[in-house]
């Protein structure tokens, strides 16, 4: 499950070590030396995970984590704090600032990868390889296949990603902006209308088995996938 991962770390050697390991595992890495740089990267592309050093020049990692949590757009990004501190009080402060996990330096690349995988599974189920089934509609991300009983459904790549995201986050209303961030991965260069176009195509493809009824329009808010029709 390749993900885009933002590494915020001011020590060049550690930043490099982390980035190399992540890239080796197939992830796309964004790098920042401080919170301001990280904030401007996040404005352009929403990462799947943030690895955040606690002690940064300027704004601290803790303060930046709070900033991410206060913004609707970045609220749900998994954050793993990296720190040399290891006392109980520090861990509590880190988790209270909104971090999902905590890793104490020095750590092994293997431990880091395991933690990343765990937060991705927890927070972004659409990035995992598990098959999702809702109301008889089955999506297999590995085989890239969608079926309803014996019927194979044909979807374009964007509709596939859109359906995967909706099926792994059912019963929640997603705004067009959120869908652009989650499915297109970049909210800046795509118009919101694009979402409507792909939702229409998705419904059309699902009509074959009648599962288009699962995709609901929530007037003035966005779209939702109903867990049952």
Q: How far is the CB of 56 from Ca ion (least distance, A)?
A: 6
> If binding is defined by CB under 5 A, does position 101 make contact with Ca ion?
no
Specify the residue, 83 or 209, whose C-beta has the smaller distance to Ca ion. Answer: 83
CB–CB of 214/206 below 8 Å? yes
Specify the residue, 53 or 135, whose C-beta has the smaller distance to Ca ion. Answer: 53
Nearest to 202 by CA among 142, 154, 168, 149: 154
Q: How far is the CB of 18 from Ca ion (least distance, A)?
A: 12
Specify the residue, 104 or 194, whose C-beta has the smaller distance to Ca ion. Answer: 104
* Cα 187 from Cα 189, distance rounded (Å): 6
Q: Which of residues 6-35 bind Ca ion (CB under 5 A)?
A: 10
Q: How far is the CB of 80 from Ca ion (least distance, A)?
A: 14
Contact window for Ca ion (CB under 5 A) among 4-12, 107-115, 188-196, 217-225 = 4-12
Specify the residue, 39 or 55, whose C-beta has the smaller distance to Ca ion. Answer: 55
- Binding characters for Ca ion, 148-187, by CB under 5 A (x = yes): ----------------------------------------
Nearest residue to Ca ion, scored by beta-carbon proximity: 55
Specify the residue, 10 or 76, whose C-beta has the smaller distance to Ca ion. Answer: 10
Contact window for Ca ion (CB under 5 A) among 49-57, 67-75, 163-171, 208-216 = 49-57
Q: How far is the CB of 52 from Ca ion (least distance, A)?
A: 10
3-state secondary structure the chain: CCCEEEEECCCHHHHHHHHHHHHHCCCEEEEECCHHHHHHHHHHCCCCEEEEECCCCCCCHHHHHHHHHHCCCCCCCCEEEEECCCCHHHHHHHHHCCCCEEEECCCCHHHHHHHHHHHHHHHCHHHCCCCEEECCEEEECCCCEEEECCEEECCCHHHHHHHHHHHHCCCCCECHHHHHHHHHCCCCCCCCHHHHHHHHHHHHHHHHHCHHHHEEEECCCEEEECCCC
- Among residues 53, 100, 135, 159, the one that binds Ca ion under rule CB under 5 A: 53
Contact window for Ca ion (CB under 5 A) among 55-63, 104-112, 164-172, 208-216 = 55-63
- Among residues 28, 39, 55, 226, the one that binds Ca ion under rule CB under 5 A: 55
* Cα 5 from Cα 206, distance rounded (Å): 33
Residues in touch with Ca ion (CB under 5 A):
10, 53, 55
């Amino acid at each position: 499950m390749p993900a885009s991962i933002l590494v915020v770390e001011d020590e060049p050697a550690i930043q490099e070590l982390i980035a190399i390991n992540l890239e080796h595992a197939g992830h796309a890495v964004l790098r920042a030396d401080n919170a301001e740089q990280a904030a401007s990267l996040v404005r352009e592309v929403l990462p799947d995970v943030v690895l955040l050093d606690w002690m940064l020049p300027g704004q601290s990692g803790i303060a930046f984590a709070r900033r991410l949590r206060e913004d609707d757009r970045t609220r749900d990004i998994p954050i793993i704090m990296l720190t040399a501190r290891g006392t109980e009080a520090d861990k509590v402060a880190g988790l209270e600032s909104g971090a999902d996990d905590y890793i104490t330096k020095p750590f092994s690349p293997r431990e880091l990868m395991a933690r990343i995988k765990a937060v991705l599974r927890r927070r972004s189920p659409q990035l995992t390889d598990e098959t999702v089934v809702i109301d008889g509609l089955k999506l297999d991300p590995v085989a890239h296949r969608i079926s309803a009983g014996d019927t194979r459904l044909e979807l374009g790549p964007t509709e596939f990603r859109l359906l995967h995201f909706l099926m792994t986050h059912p019963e929640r209303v997603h705004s067009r902006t959120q869908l652009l961030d989650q499915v297109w991965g970049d909210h800046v260069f795509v118009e919101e209308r694009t979402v409507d176009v792909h939702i229409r195509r998705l419904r059309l493809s699902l009509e074959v088995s009648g599962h288009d009824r699962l995709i609901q329009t929530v007037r003035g808010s966005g779209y939702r996938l109903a867990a049952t029709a």
